[in-house]
Amino acid sequence: MGRSQKKDSQDGISPELRRYIRIQIVGMAIFLSWPVAMMLATMYGLDDIIPQISVLILAIAVIVFCIGLVGRQELKERTRGK
């Protein structure tokens, strides 16, 4: 069921762009997992460190998403210059 390289190139999205899109999706997934992580922390009695866990998860999500966003913007600038 694998896709051929020819079919991928016909989609109009370069592999570099797909990479940055995936990085952004990972950042969004980390952000969306935040409420579940907070519920689990409460269930396991980690009430004392929930604020630190919360800030850490949200900071990681923002950083990963921004890496993907900046990468996409740089890729656009490089392709415009050609």
**In-domain check, residue 69:** yes
Asked if 21 and 68 touch (Cβ cutoff 8 Å), the reply is yes
Burial class (CB in 10 A: 0-12, 13-18, 19+), 20: buried
The answer to whether position 32 is within a domain reads yes
Mean of pLDDT over the chain: 88
Residue 2 lies in a domain: no
Model confidence at 45, pLDDT cuts 50, 70, 90, reads very high
Is 11 among the domain residues? no
Q: Is residue 7 part of a domain?
A: no
Residue 67, domain extent = 18-81
Asked if residue 4 is part of any domain, the answer here is no
Whether residue 16 contacts residue 67, with contact meaning beta carbons closer than 8 Å, is answered with: no
Q: Is residue 10 part of a domain?
A: no
Asked whether residue 40 is assigned to any structural domain, the reply reads yes
pTM for the model stands at: 0.78
Q: Domain tally for the chain?
A: 1
57: CB partners within 8 A, 6+ apart: 30, 31, 33, 34, 37
